[in-house]
Amino acid sequence: MKLIKFILAGTIAVSVNNLWAQSFPDWHQMDQQTLDDSYNNTKAVPESPAMFNAWIERSKAFRAAHSQYLDISYGTLEREKIDYYSAGPNTPVVIFIHGGFWQARSKNDFAFLAENYLKEGISVAMVGYPLAPQANMDQIVASSEKAVKFISQHLSEWGGNPKNVVLSGWSSGGHLSVTSINGMKVKAVVPISGIFELEPLTGSFLNKNLQMDVAIAKRNSPMLNLPTGKTPIYLFVGGIELSEMRRQSYDFADKLKASKYPVVFVDIPGKDHYTMLEQFEFPEGAIHSRIVSVIKQKN
């Protein structure tokens, strides 16, 4: 695929064959099975459970080797905790919010992602948050923003540089990275394979635990509540992800573009929902290299 570069709101966006002009199936017209399958990433990538098992084992070893700042409480709930992996004093920081459709996984499972950043002198804060059905979407969104605000208040004492921070998240964490944009001043927000319109989920299998009605879905949808300000958003999605996962990023990019918000949208060919994390983890990955380039920019 040919890469096309163009200027948008003062930033450079990368498009694949004019990707923002693409169309997707209308979720309103989907039958139950089609809608469910459009969000069932595990079914779409059968090898993903084995991938997760490997990630969990790597994360256990990494956490054991970096135990100085683990499970720092930022609230009263059991999952309102942060892990901070320090690369040293006065270092830049990446805040990462994990995925799991707001109802599964934990910050502990994704610790392995911090390893290469630490090698590059970049500290990493992993955000935990309460999950459904114990918490509803309002509570989950509020906790995530509270975590980011807490990090801003304590970063200096942990050795991080509060003036050089990038906020990122994957899948449902991509959604929370955007809803947490006001938690602290960051240089950029980097949602990976995110979900930005929650109403389609109310009719899907995912809502058994989420228990959202249309009202709570709408008020927690970045698509309907666009961020304000000038913090750049770098949106990434995989070229072979499910149609609804891709549509979510495309439509959100269009909304941001129309509102003149500074946005960069990158569609990475050949990557599914899970291999997108490799792009975040490894230095040669498009997401990783973008984050490092933002960190290196002068304030």
Report pLDDT digits (tens) over 236-257: 999 999 999 999 999 999 999 9
Sheet of 123-127, strands arranged across? 69-73, 81-85, 123-127, 91-97, 160-170, 188-192, 233-238, 263-268
**Are the beta carbons of 180 and 148 closer than 8 angstroms?**
yes
Looking at residue 68, what DSSP letter applies?
Answer: T
Q: Which CATH class is domain 3-296?
A: alpha beta
- The alpha helices in the chain, defined as continuous H runs, are 32-37, 41-44, 48-65, 115-119, 137-158, 172-179, 207-210, 214-219, 243-258, 276-281, 286-296
Q: What is the pLDDT of residue 18?
A: 41
What are the Cα distances from residue 271, in Å, to 21, 35, 169?
20, 21, 17
Within 13 Å and on the Cβ side, how many CA atoms surround 135?
20
Residue 200: exposure state from Cβ atoms within 10 A (0-12, 13-18, ≥19): buried
What is the model's pLDDT at position 23?
Answer: 82
Mean pLDDT by 10 residues, the chain (299 residues): 30 40 86 98 97 97 97 98 98 98 98 98 98 98 98 97 98 98 97 98 98 98 96 97 96 95 96 98 98 93
**pLDDT tens per residue, range 109-130:** 999 999 999 999 999 999 999 9
**Predicted local distance difference test score (pLDDT) of residue 114:** 98
